[in-house]
Amino acid sequence: METIVKDQHVSIEKPEIAAPPDWEPVIIGILCNWCSYAGSDLTGTSRIQYPPNIRIIRVPCTSRVDPWFLIKALQTTADGVLVSGCHPGDCHYITGNYYARRRFLVTKKLLSFIGFHENRIQFSWVSAAEGPKFAKVVAKVTDDIKKLGPLHLYKKENFEK
C-alpha cells in the first residue's frame, strides 16, 4: 500500500519557483482556549519574542477543528498551519484532544498524499504554563515553512495577477 501511494505522489509544492526576496510566510495558528491560547498569552506577558508570521485563531478545543479549516487555510491564505492543544490527558473537555490527534494524523496523510509537504501542517501540545515552549514551537514552524517557500495555489494574489 505504502509503495502505491508513493508512486502516485504528485507534488503541489513548486520549489523551482523562487520566492520573492521580501517574501514572508503567513501561518495560521489554531489554538484551544484553555491550554495553548492561554500559553500564547503567557508568552506575551513574559515578553518572549517570536517571529511575527503567525495569525492566531481561538477555538474552544482542538476537537472543534475541522480538517476543512486546514485545507481552506492552505488553499486561500496560509502557507502553513499550526494546531495546538492541551497535553494528552489534560484536555479541559476530558477527551477532545485525543480525537483531534487522531483526526490530524489522518489529515496529514491525506494532505501529503495530495501533494503538500507534511510540514505545512503541524500539531503541538502547549499547556497554559508553557509560554517559552509556545515561542519555540512558533519559531520552529515558521522556520520550516520558510524553507518550504510560498505555497503556489489558488491564492488571492494569484487571482489578482
Partner 1 sequence: MARVGVFVCFCGANIADYVDVPMVVEETKKIREVKFAIEYKYMCSDPGQQLIREAIVQHRLTSIVVAACSPRMHEKTFRKALSDAGMNPYLLEVANIREHSSWVHQKDKKAATEKAADLVRMAVAKSIANEQLFEISVPVTKRALVIGGGIAGIQAALDIADARIPVVLVEKSPSIGGKMAQLDETFPTLDCSQCILTPKMVDVASHPYIELIPYSEVIELEGFVGNYKARIKKKASYVNFATCTGCGACWQKCPVKVPNEYNMGIDKRKAIYTPFPQAVPNKPVIDAAYCTMLLKGKCGICAKVCQVGAIDFKMQEEIIEREIGAVVVATGYDLWDPKPYEEYGVGRFKDIITSLEFERMVSANGPTNGLPVRPSDGKIPKNVVFIKCIGSRDEAKGIEYCSKICCMYTTKHTILLHHKVHDSHAYVFYMDIRAAGKGYEEFVKKAQVDTAATYLRGRVSKIYKKEDKLIVRGEDSQIGQVVEVVADLVVLATAVIPPKDNPELARMLGISYDKYGYLSEAHPKLRPVETAKAGIFLAGCTQAPKDIPDTVAQASACAAKVCGLFAGDTMKKDPMISTVNTEFCSGCQNCVQVCPYGAIVTEEVPMGHGSKEMRTVARINEGVCQGCGSCVAVCRSMAISLAGFTDHQIINEIVSI
Binding residues for partner 1, rule: CB under 8 A, are 24, 26, 28, 33, 37-38, 40-41, 43-45, 47-50, 52, 55-61, 63-66, 68-69, 72-73, 76-78, 92-96, 99, 103, 135
| C-alpha to C-alpha distance for 21 and 110, rounded to whole angstroms | 31
What is the closest distance, in whole angstroms, from the C-beta atom of residue 6 to partner 1 in the complex? Answer: 29
| C-alpha to C-alpha distance for 71 and 137, rounded to whole angstroms | 21
Nearer to partner 1, 11 or 95 (CB): 95
C-alpha separations of 48 from 26, 65, 77 in Å: 20, 27, 26
Nearer to partner 1, 5 or 28 (CB): 28
What is the closest distance, in whole angstroms, from the C-beta atom of residue 16 to partner 1 in the complex? Answer: 26
Q: Which residue has the cell 509560554?
A: 131
Nearer to partner 1, 15 or 143 (CB): 143
Helix or strand holding residue 8 (H, E): none
Residues 82 and 141 sit within 8 Å (Cβ to Cβ): yes
Nearer to partner 1, 54 or 144 (CB): 54
